Amino acid sequence: MDKSPEEQAVEKKISQYQNRQKILLNKKRTEEHRARTHRLIGRGAILEAVFPAVVDMEGEEVKAFLIALSRLPGAWKLTEKPLETGGEK
């Protein structure tokens, strides 16, 4: 049985809306990816500025360095400071 012109028009609109949704979701993912990349690059630049020795380290060495820093007495207390000053997670 053939579909009526009204049914065809509705199906076409549904298809258009589904495609528009896919486009918007892809755009959202792309923007989130760009924001994350920008944030990571910025934080990496800060890390290198504060600790110039990490420039010559491999990824695992940087990780070990940061873990060692995190184990210093009082290190975790410092990570709580932004929460105390009104920062939100």
The domain total for the chain is 2
Range of the domain at 59: 55-89
Q: Based on the fold, state whether residues 7 and 42 are members of the same structural domain.
A: yes
Q: Based on the fold, state whether residues 46 and 59 are members of the same structural domain.
A: no
How many other C-beta atoms lie within 10 A of the C-beta of residue 2?
Answer: 6
- Residue 45 CA to residue 36 CA, distance in Å, equals 14
Task: Work out the average pLDDT over 67-81.
Answer: 87
Tell me: the pLDDT tens digits for 44-55?
A: 999 999 999 999
Q: Based on the fold, state whether residues 59 and 46 are members of the same structural domain.
A: no
The two tokens of residue 14 are: 């549904």
Tell me: the pLDDT tens digits for 20-40?
A: 999 999 999 999 999 999 999
Q: Which residues of 32-65 are buried (b: 16+ CB within 10 A; e: fewer)?
A: eeeeeeeeeeeeeeeeeeeeeebeeeeeeebeee
Q: Based on the fold, state whether residues 1 and 38 are members of the same structural domain.
A: yes
* Among 35, 32, 65, 34, CA closest to 47: 65
Q: Based on the fold, state whether residues 2 and 42 are members of the same structural domain.
A: yes
- Residue 22 CA to residue 57 CA, distance in Å, equals 41
